[in-house]
């Protein structure tokens, strides 16, 4: 499957913006890539991953902002969701992806949820042959990221098909 991850991120932000605004938070999108970024991935499941990551960013941030962004490197794009929230203690960093694991039981109870969000994120990202990475500092914030392979845009695919046809007709 082939889709523009920038459009997907925009949809996720539109869906969650109200929730963020209620907490006085803004969600920004990294605009250094104004062009579409076509990726080879499962659109619905990657949408779900972004919803889970941005929802967490909103839930575990009291002030500041949330940033969704992209870094294109050769034929890969690194997608990241960064927040200025409570952060995760180093000793819990590899446990947060376990089912039902929550850093602070009492605090998490107030904010609701089951502790499944990141287990799903990890499962989906790994099904795409990628790793989910997290860098976090307590009281400063967290940055979750993963990489996806970039595909061609529809225009590029059409152009390539046209060239191929021309070459085939020359062969004859
Ligand atoms: P659910 O997603 O099922 O509603 P949840 O958000 O508690 O519940 P996960 O998304 O799996 O569960 O996250 C697991 C735990 O990791 C959270 O309870 C929280 O303690 C911690 N965590 C996740 N994302 C962040 C974040 N952006 N900042 C700080 N802590 C986080
Ligand atoms: Mg969650």
Any ligand 1 atom below 6 A from CB of 82: no
* Mean of pLDDT values over 130-149: 97
**CA 102 to ligand 1 centroid distance, Å:** 6
What does the pLDDT look like over 63-112, one tens digit per residue?
Answer: 999 999 999 988 899 999 999 999 999 999 989 999 988 887 656 556 67
Nearest Cα to 44, choosing from 5, 83, 93? Answer: 5
Contact 44, 5 (CB under 8 A): no
The C-alpha atoms of residue 109 and residue 119 are separated, in whole angstroms, by: 18
> What interface predicted TM-score (ipTM) does this complex get?
0.99
Residue whose CA lies nearest to ligand 1 atom number 25: 56
Closest ligand 1 atom to the C-alpha of 144?
27
The C-alpha atoms of residue 5 and residue 70 are separated, in whole angstroms, by: 9
Question: Helix, strand or coil for residue 82?
Answer: strand
């Amino acid at each position: 499957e082939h889709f523009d991850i920038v459009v997907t991120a925009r949809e996720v932000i539109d869906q969650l913006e109200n929730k963020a605004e209620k907490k006085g938070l803004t969600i920004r999108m990294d605009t250094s890539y104004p062009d579409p970024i076509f990726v080879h991935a499962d659109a619905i499941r990657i949408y779900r991953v972004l919803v889970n990551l941005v929802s967490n960013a909103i839930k575990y941030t009291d002030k500041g902002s949330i940033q969704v962004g992209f870094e294109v490197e050769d034929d890969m794009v690194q997608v990241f969701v960064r927040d200025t929230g409570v952060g995760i203690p180093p000793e819990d960093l590899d446990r947060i992806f376990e089912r039902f694991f929550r850093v602070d039981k009492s605090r998490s109870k107030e904010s609701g949820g089951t502790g499944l969000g990141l287990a799903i994120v990890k499962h989906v990202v790994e099904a795409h042959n990628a790793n989910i990475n997290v860098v976090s500092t307590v009281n400063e914030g967290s940055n979750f990221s993963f990489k996806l392979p970039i595909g061609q845009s529809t225009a590029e695919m059409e152009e390539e098909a046209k060239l191929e046809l021309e070459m085939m007709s020359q062969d004859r």
